[in-house]
Amino acid sequence: MGEQAKVVIIGGGIMGCSLAYHLCKEGWTDLILLEKGELTSGSTWHAAGQITHSVSHYGIAKMAAHGTDLYPRLEAETGQSTSWHGCGSLRVAYDDAEVDWLNYTLSVGRGLGHEMEVIGPARIRQLHPFYNLDGVKAALHTPNDGHVDPAGVAFALAAGVRQMGGRVIRHRRATGLKQKADGEWIVQTSDGDIDAELVVNAAGTYARQVGRWAGLDLPIANLLHHYLVTETVPEFQDLPRELPVVRDDREVSGYIRMEQKSGLIGIYEKANATTVWDDGTPWEAENELFEPDFDRIMPWLQNAMERMPVFAELGIKRVVHGAITHPPDGNMMLGPSGVRNFWQCCGSQVGIAWGPGAGKYLAQWMVHGAADISMASFDPRRFGARIDERYRIEKAKEDYLLRHEIPFPGLDRPGCRPSHSKISPLYEPLKARGAVYQDVYGWERPHWYARDGVAREHVHTFRRSVVHDMVRAEVEGLRKGAGIADISAFAKLEIHGADAEPFLERISSNRLPRKAGSLTLTYFVNPNGRIEGEATLLRLDGDRYYLVYAAAREAMLLNWLEEQRLAGEAVTFQNRSEELGVLMLAGPGSRRILASCTPASLDNTAFRWLSAQEIEVAGVRNVRAMRVTYTGELGWELHMPLASMARVHEALMAAGGRLGLTHVGSAALNSMRMEKAYKSGHEITNEVTLAEAGLTRFARSGGFQGAAISLAAPERWVIAFLRLDEPEGDAPLADPHGSESIWLDGRCVGSITSGAFGFEAGAWIGWSYLKPQFAAPGTKLEVMTLGRSRRAEVLDRAVFDPDNLRARA
């Protein structure tokens, strides 16, 4: 028998080394880490090596924290030097929006136990006497940040792998992959084949080439980034301590720190981003750097010199101009690829900082079927746009240019939209009515409608804005009369086959609908009891089912369902997401509007709540009408071929013109679902069980995989529904955006997942996960919002029509 291993990881940069180390820690030591040159000879060796807690994304904040925890102790554990410099850092802010961002980061990070503080210029000057603070209003001080020798930490992780029994093989290149009939792999290499159960692509700038061997076309491009090292700075000679790293997003668009007694300046230019190796990274490339391009970075380099006058007269002794991988949205690609037994661990633009955490949580996912944090924003199957060369490169450049911009909530990324988007035939007509679109899994979905002279453009802020009033008008229009929404982005899947029923019984929590035309809400559960997805499940007839679920999870859930099918099981999947469009019609007037466009009877006896029928609407036959909506009102979802949408929409609008019909976007739907206490993909992730997510009423007592674990009483955390008091005094008029920490008596007891302002309730309401002992209804808590405390109370039920009288009307 030839060489074999349970896992082969292709690529010995920081990402591959970290994954190998953490898989060994999880007990999977039968692995081979393959590196074609020396370890770190791709992008890793030339990184500047900084790590910061100044990140507001919950998952990335957890990953960064693992880095600052692991690196300082790795040297003692492995005997390999890592050069940890715990100098702390400062992120400076010049205007109110930047200060809001710092306060948002603080609201998330403090809850995770990260030491951080927003400080004013006087304190900044004490910490960093050399930085020119003209115009600086504040800074986020994160004292436990630092920087490392990137090659040193990767070598140390690899040393740890060897010590735990894993194999690290250098100077051996993977040259191809062959999948065997049983789904396992033959990894072809420059020195013979290796049989592997699982293969992981950690090939950095080669990840696209390696992905192609598995039939994948990864949307990653390589962007060039500079840092420069000055001559020795005389003023640094006798400093008793190392200065904190400064991140200056506006003026420098980058970072400045000490490198021994020299200065180091890294710049993410805000124009003319440049890619390299668009057609593939040469296999012979090793420790590759590029000629500096000073013209490209000059405006920001000049600003850097103005900010650090002690650098101004010094020469530059070293320039590092190297390649970094960027996916379209900037998040790493960590997880199953969609091809069986082929995993991704690539697309990393901040690998030194996030690599340790990425390896830790990916290893958990591979070994245990789920990680301790939600991995949805890193899932490699999250891209739904029509990806081609132009998209891949333009979106990566866009991401690079955003690296030092404020990551506003719902930040719009306009590149290649709608040219590469999925659009319904209503795209232009709704735009003409004021629709401001958002991207969801490559679909253009109306987010809100600009009315009354308000500009039809995205509003980027952490505070309440004019959008709040626009959404209020949409909600009121729907609740008083009727509302219509294009919700075509939903994933739509048919499941057929003689074994469809036992298949669904095995993996989903709720009782299957027995009669044709009945529907139910159900949850897919993995063998470890964690939730893989939520769907509305309609029985079409005997062994045919129709599933409707969140757009963002289209490929992820379909891929997971395919993998649940047992050998020989007669189950087929038909993804109808791009064939069918969906209009939601809801509100007290919706029955009258729909009735004037259809011969079908719509009263409660003929068409009951939670049922579906194929009806004719505006002369379009076989419109699949489902009496459910996300709004808590009487209403229907109308599923039909995309080509029929314009006709049905026009007819409903004509009828609605007489009766009152308002166009609503996803922001209004979100507000209404919160008042009904409906959950979303922010709450329902594969880090939680049914009991933790408060979903046991949608579950049988057993008979589905993972049931016992999923239904067991929560111990780690449990979902709780919160209502916040309005901001008082000089507190900013701002609401939580997700991930904010929740406090009781000075202790962090949980965090926010999602929420919205409820216009009936007159308050912001949202979901959170709390330590179970603090989740009882009536408990009074505090939610940190933009750095300030807001009073909150745990509620026991929906704030709007908790008995569903309106939906049943």
Ligand X SMILES: Cc1cc2nc3c(=O)[nH]c(=O)nc-3n(C[C@H](O)[C@H](O)[C@H](O)COP(=O)(O)OP(=O)(O)OC[C@H]3O[C@@H](n4cnc5c(N)ncnc54)[C@H](O)[C@@H]3O)c2cc1C
User: For residue 282, is the peptide bond before it cis, meaning its omega torsion is within 30 degrees of 0?
Assistant: no
Closer by beta carbon to ligand X, 44 or else 689? 44
User: Which among 107-115, 198-206, 422-430, 632-640 is the span making contact with ligand X, rule CB under 6 A?
Assistant: 198-206
Q: Which two tokens stand for residue 115?
A: 């030491």
CB 719 within 8 A of CB 683: yes
How many CB atoms are located within 10 Å of the residue 606 CB? 10
DSSP 793: E
Q: How far is the CB of 296 from ligand X (least distance, A)?
A: 13
Residue ranges of alpha helices (H) inside 459-529 are 466-480, 500-507
User: Count residues contacting ligand X (CB under 6 A)?
Assistant: 41
d(CA 249, CA 455): 28
Kindly write out the interface string for residues 666-705 of this chain, putting x where it contacts ligand X by CB under 6 A and - elsewhere: ----------------------------------------
Establish if 751 lies at the interface with ligand X (CB under 6 A): no
d(CA 47, CA 14): 10
Closer by beta carbon to ligand X, 225 or else 771? 225
Q: How far is the CB of 11 from ligand X (least distance, A)?
A: 3
Q: Is 54 left (phi over 0), alpha (psi -120 to 50) or beta?
A: beta
Q: How far is the CB of 206 from ligand X (least distance, A)?
A: 4
Closer by beta carbon to ligand X, 323 or else 617? 323
User: Which among 131-139, 200-208, 431-439, 783-791 is the span making contact with ligand X, rule CB under 6 A?
Assistant: 200-208
Establish if 210 lies at the interface with ligand X (CB under 6 A): yes
Q: Return the HEC string of 748-787.
A: EEEEEEEEEEECCCCEEEEEEEECHHHCCCCCEEEEEECC
Q: How far is the CB of 181 from ligand X (least distance, A)?
A: 24
Establish if 273 lies at the interface with ligand X (CB under 6 A): no
Measured in degrees and rounded to the nearest 5, phi and psi for residue 272 equal 55, 40
Closer by beta carbon to ligand X, 321 or else 649? 321
Establish if 85 lies at the interface with ligand X (CB under 6 A): no
Query: What's at 685, amino acid-wise?
Result: T
Closer by beta carbon to ligand X, 50 or else 536? 50
User: Which among 10-18, 112-120, 156-164, 302-310 is the span making contact with ligand X, rule CB under 6 A?
Assistant: 10-18
CB 362 within 8 A of CB 371: yes
Q: Which two tokens stand for residue 89?
A: 């850092």
Establish if 9 lies at the interface with ligand X (CB under 6 A): no
Establish if 706 lies at the interface with ligand X (CB under 6 A): no
Interface with ligand X (CB under 6 A), residue from 8, 13, 477, 519: 13
Kindly write out the interface string for residues 154-183 of this chain, putting x where it contacts ligand X by CB under 6 A and - elsewhere: -------------------xx---------
Establish if 205 lies at the interface with ligand X (CB under 6 A): yes
SS3 content of the chain, % helix, strand, coil (to 5): 30, 30, 45
**3-state secondary structure (DSSP) of residue 67:** helix
Residue ranges of alpha helices (H) inside 328-388 are 351-368
Closer by beta carbon to ligand X, 14 or else 625? 14
Interface with ligand X (CB under 6 A), residue from 8, 12, 383, 707: 12
Measured in degrees and rounded to the nearest 5, phi and psi for residue 129 equal -70, -10
Kindly write out the interface string for residues 560-599 of this chain, putting x where it contacts ligand X by CB under 6 A and - elsewhere: ----------------------------------------
Q: How far is the CB of 209 from ligand X (least distance, A)?
A: 7
Q: How far is the CB of 178 from ligand X (least distance, A)?
A: 14
Closer by beta carbon to ligand X, 41 or else 710? 41
Kindly write out the interface string for residues 218-237 of this chain, putting x where it contacts ligand X by CB under 6 A and - elsewhere: -------x-x----------
**3-state secondary structure (DSSP) of residue 445:** strand
How far from 288 is each of 13, 317, 434, 655, CA to CA, in Å? 14, 18, 49, 65
Q: How far is the CB of 339 from ligand X (least distance, A)?
A: 17
Q: How far is the CB of 158 from ligand X (least distance, A)?
A: 11
Q: Which of residues 30-59 bind ligand X (CB under 6 A)?
A: 34-37, 40-44, 46-50
**3-state secondary structure (DSSP) of residue 101:** helix
Q: Is 618 left (phi over 0), alpha (psi -120 to 50) or beta?
A: left
CB 112 within 8 A of CB 786: no
CB 438 within 8 A of CB 411: no
Query: What's at 324, amino acid-wise?
Result: I
Q: At what angle do helices 500-507 and 554-564 cross, to 10 degrees?
A: 110
Torsion sign (Cα): 628, 633, 639, 642: negative
Q: Which of 696, 28, 18 is nearest to 368 (CA)?
A: 28
Interface with ligand X (CB under 6 A), residue from 8, 9, 10, 339: 10
Q: How far is the CB of 52 from ligand X (least distance, A)?
A: 9
Interface with ligand X (CB under 6 A), residue from 28, 155, 206, 524: 206
Q: H-helix or E-strand containing 156?
A: helix 150-164
Q: How far is the CB of 569 from ligand X (least distance, A)?
A: 36
d(CA 82, CA 157): 10
Closer by beta carbon to ligand X, 213 or else 757? 213
Establish if 247 lies at the interface with ligand X (CB under 6 A): no
Closer by beta carbon to ligand X, 322 or else 766? 322
Closer by beta carbon to ligand X, 322 or else 665? 322
Long-range CB contacts (within 8 A, 24+) of 710-714: 710/509, 710/525, 710/529, 710/530, 710/531, 711/529, 712/529, 713/772, 714/689, 714/772
Closer by beta carbon to ligand X, 208 or else 417? 208
Q: Which two tokens stand for residue 194?
A: 């290796």
Q: At what angle do helices 14-25 and 150-164 cross, to 10 degrees?
A: 30
Closer by beta carbon to ligand X, 279 or else 603? 279
Closer by beta carbon to ligand X, 380 or else 750? 380
d(CA 647, CA 666): 22
Closer by beta carbon to ligand X, 334 or else 555? 334
Kindly write out the interface string for residues 308-337 of this chain, putting x where it contacts ligand X by CB under 6 A and - elsewhere: ------------x-x-x-------------
Q: How far is the CB of 330 from ligand X (least distance, A)?
A: 11
**3-state secondary structure (DSSP) of residue 437:** strand
Closer by beta carbon to ligand X, 74 or else 651? 74
Judging by DSSP bridges, how do beta strands 342-346 and 117-119 pair with one another? Answer: unpaired
Interface with ligand X (CB under 6 A), residue from 16, 330, 481, 714: 16
Judging by DSSP bridges, how do beta strands 572-575 and 491-496 pair with one another? Answer: antiparallel
Establish if 208 lies at the interface with ligand X (CB under 6 A): no
Q: How far is the CB of 290 from ligand X (least distance, A)?
A: 9
Measured in degrees and rounded to the nearest 5, phi and psi for residue 220 equal -130, 140
Establish if 403 lies at the interface with ligand X (CB under 6 A): no
Kindly write out the interface string for residues 342-361 of this chain, putting x where it contacts ligand X by CB under 6 A and - elsewhere: ----x-xxxxxx--------
Interface with ligand X (CB under 6 A), residue from 203, 297, 375, 628: 203
Binding site for ligand X (CB under 6 A): 10-16, 34-37, 40-44, 46-50, 173-174, 202-206, 210, 225, 227, 320, 322, 324, 346, 348-353
